[in-house]
Amino acid sequence: EATLDLAERRRIRSAIRELQRQELERDEETLASKRFRPERSSHRQDNKENWPQSRHLEEEQQAALAALSEQLEAITSVEELTKLLRAAGEYEERKLIRAAIRKLRAEEIEAATLAGNVQSSR
């Protein structure tokens, strides 16, 4: 509400600042208590129980990626790789295919550069 008394306005402003300071302190205490909360032991137990299964899935994924890598080495067309990229579902697969496309394009650029150098030297 509006007040004309300057002393009263100062008291109101200082009361508001005090309330804000107290609220900040409460927020900092809450944050500190959450930050240093120990990890729940049941969560660690779940991780131990699921570890062999997740390890097995990871090994299968690594084997599939190795097979894909070998397959990509045999492909020499950027168009074929682009088709594979569009069909790929997993991030790691797309990552490998993009790397193969970059490698092929770099080889094409290098071959064109060598051909240009040979042409210009004649």
Contact (CB, 8 A) for 83 and 94: no
Q: Answer whether residue 83 is part of any domain.
A: yes
User: What pLDDT, in 10s, does the model give residues 75-100?
Assistant: 888 899 999 899 988 888 899 899 99
Burial call 1-31: b when 16+ CB within 10 Å, e when fewer: eeeeeeeeeeeeeeeeeeeeeeeeeeeeeee
Q: Answer whether residue 34 is part of any domain.
A: no
Q: Answer whether residue 96 is part of any domain.
A: yes
Supply the pLDDT for residue 74: 87
Contact (CB, 8 A) for 72 and 81: yes
Supply the pLDDT for residue 27: 87
Supply the pLDDT for residue 53: 73
Q: Answer whether residue 1 is part of any domain.
A: no
Give Cβ neighbours of residue 90 (< 8 Å, ≥ 6 apart): 61
- Please count the CA atoms within 13 angstroms of the CA of 74 that sit on its side-chain side: 4
Supply the pLDDT for residue 90: 86
Q: Answer whether residue 40 is part of any domain.
A: no
Q: Answer whether residue 76 is part of any domain.
A: yes
Supply the pLDDT for residue 37: 56
Supply the pLDDT for residue 18: 95
Tell me the C-alpha distance between 87 and 102, whole Å: 18
pTM of the model: 0.51
Q: Answer whether residue 68 is part of any domain.
A: yes
* Local confidence band at 62 (pLDDT 50, 70, 90 cut-offs): confident
User: What pLDDT, in 10s, does the model give residues 13-49?
Assistant: 999 999 999 999 988 888 877 766 555 555 555 556 6
Q: Answer whether residue 50 is part of any domain.
A: no
Query: Domain count of the chain?
Result: 1
By residue range, what is the domain housing residue 71? 64-120
Tell me the C-alpha distance between 45 and 64, whole Å: 29
